[in-house]
Amino acid sequence: MTDRAAAARHGPGLAIYAQLAAVVLFWGTNWLIIRAALPDVGPFTLNLLRFAGSAVFLAMLLPLLRSPLLPPAGERAPLALIGVLQIAAMLALSSLGLLVVPPGRAAVLAYTMQVWALPLGVLIAGERPPRQRVLGGLLAFAGVLVFFNPALVDWSDPQVLLGNGLLVGSAMAWALGATLYRRHRWRAPFWTQTFWQIAVSAAAILPFALLLEADRAVNWTPTLWLALAYNWAVGTALCY
């Protein structure tokens, strides 16, 4: 029996759960870090600096991991599209939403991607989710309603509606990217995939930063440097 077949039979091991717990901790902390940095820089510029620095960090790390810099030619375009959806679009929309919505509530909406992934998987990939997965999705949606508590939202405020809508849009972008990702069997190592998707996301968000925030100065405070350093190594490169 191969290692992959054995893993599928026995389920994820302790190391997988430890990695999942680390991502929850690192990304949960990052919502507070990003919110603290937003007064010093525009959201598109912040994400541009975040992606570019992470791409440079991974480019230096790839030779040590003995992974190629670029994926095979046939995988570059689909991985680029998935990267734009899961990284550039998701984080740009969530950063804009964070300007209006508090970090705790923003995180609840942004991480509803698993709820949207179920119907998208059926519509796009022709998946037939088992009953347990459907029940899990319904349970997740019920949890969103409990934690989000729609009664606390001022539905008459257009700015609040826009902020919440952007966060839902970020979750849907991620779910669409995940659905497209599952349709392929990739040859590129995952570190190469991560570098390529982050690098493409930096290129995708560059024109938005130049067009929309060219007149906004960057305030290089210790908070901003801390947010960028954390994301270059942990919040973006490692977690993705």
Q: Domain boundaries in the chain?
A: 12-238
For Cα atoms 36, 206, 49, give the angle at the middle one, nearest 5 degrees. 35
7 — pLDDT class (breaks 50, 70, 90): low
Distance spanning both ends of the chain, measured CA to CA: 30
- Residues 142-187 have pLDDT tens digits of 777 776 666 666 777 788 788 888 988 999 999 999 888 988 889 9
For Cα atoms 11, 82, 121, give the angle at the middle one, nearest 5 degrees. 55
**Mean pLDDT calculated for residue range 208-226:** 93
**DSSP character at residue 69:** S
Closest CA to 188 of 84, 85, 68: 68
Assess whether pLDDT exceeds 90 at residue 200.
Answer: yes
1 — pLDDT class (breaks 50, 70, 90): very low
Provide the percentage of residues in the chain whose pLDDT is more than 90: 46
Assess whether pLDDT exceeds 90 at residue 64.
Answer: yes
Q: Give CA–CA dist 163/156, Å, rounded.
A: 13
Assess whether pLDDT exceeds 70 at residue 210.
Answer: yes
Residue found by looking up tokens 């989710």 in the block: 129
